[in-house]
Amino acid sequence: MSHFIVNNIKFDKRYVYFERPPWKNYLIPSRECFVHAWQRSDDLPQFHKNVKGLYKLWLSDNPEEKGLELLLTTEMVNYRLGNWPSKGVKLKDLPITSKPDEWEVLASIAESSINME
């Protein structure tokens, strides 16, 4: 099989790899995996679910890495999103949330914050 299916989305196995930073006891998505999952996601929550699902499937093919946890921090995501476009990596814009009612709540908070006395 040359692909993984996560959340009904097909991912190319060639790009799904998790790396262990030197002297660390966790794994992070490789740059290729990060970009592939980002571009195949519709919003930030789905991106996180996709990476976690890919990690579980990848571990089944890489049992020697079992016992190491996935590290996917906000700082890592923000760093990659902030730096890679300047290096020519064009990542699509993803909404932070997928629920329209959450956007309405945020819009309401933004509006009421401006009008606070």
Helix (H, G, I), strand (E, B) or coil at 69: strand
- CA-to-CA distance for 37 and 29, rounded, in angstroms? 9
Judge whether residue 69 has pLDDT over 90: yes
Judge whether residue 49 has pLDDT over 90: yes
Domain span at residue 91 reads 3-114
Cross-strand partners of 3: 12
- CA-to-CA distance for 73 and 15, rounded, in angstroms? 20
Confidence of residue 98 (pLDDT cuts 50, 70, 90): low
Q: What is the tally of structural domains in the chain?
A: 1
Comparing 8-12, 13-17, 18-22, 39-43, the range with the smallest average pLDDT is 8-12
Judge whether residue 103 has pLDDT over 90: no
Percent of the chain surpassing pLDDT 90: 36
Are 41 and 13 a contacting pair, CB within 8 Å?
no
Q: Enter the tokens of residue 91.
A: 């990542």
Does this model's pTM top 0.85? My answer is no
Are 43 and 33 a contacting pair, CB within 8 Å?
no
